[in-house]
Amino acid sequence: MNTDPSMSWDNLQRVAVAWHEARFPLARPTHVALKVASEVGELADAVLADQGTNSATGDGDVLGEAADVVIATMVLLGRWRPGDDLMAAVRDKLNLLCDPSSGHRAALRSALGETA
Ligand SMILES: [Mg+2]
């Protein structure tokens, strides 16, 4: 399998799911959820290594480990919740975070000592 640099999110997710189904046909959602958690740990280790605070945790490949987190998440949702649109959920969450009337924004203003 190979990916085109201009490939859409949906097509990248389809490739990730097809690869995972071929490589791990008997996997269950809990296995992949644990893989997501494991990859988040590897990302944290990479950040620590990149900052030089823990040289025993790898080479500090922050970008590569972040990609692993995304791929594992794409597989988890694409394989067992194919009706869920992960990118739409990401957009919705970002819109909420950036909405000045949302609790998130209000909390930020409060933390900065500003009033609405
Ligand atoms: Mg990894």
CA of 89 to the centre of ligand 1 (A): 24
Mapped onto helix, strand or coil, the DSSP state of residue 90 is: helix
Alpha helices in 24-61 (DSSP H): 29-50
Domain ranges of the chain: 9-82, 85-116
In this prediction, residue 62 carries a pLDDT of 95
In this prediction, residue 100 carries a pLDDT of 77
How far is Cα of residue 80 from the mean position of the Cα atoms in its chain? Answer: 16
For the whole model, what pTM was predicted?
0.82
CA of 36 to the centre of ligand 1 (A): 9
Average pLDDT by stretches of 10, the chain with 116 residues:
82 96 98 98 92 75 96 98 94 85 66 62
CA of 99 to the centre of ligand 1 (A): 33
Q: Convert 46-77 to b/e letters by CB count within 10 Å (16 or more is b).
A: bbbbbeeeeeebeebbbeebbebbbbbbbbbb
Q: At what angle do helices 86-98 and 9-23 cross, to 10 degrees?
A: 130
In this prediction, residue 109 carries a pLDDT of 61
CA of 43 to the centre of ligand 1 (A): 7
In this prediction, residue 95 carries a pLDDT of 86
CA of 35 to the centre of ligand 1 (A): 9
CA of 55 to the centre of ligand 1 (A): 16
In this prediction, residue 107 carries a pLDDT of 60
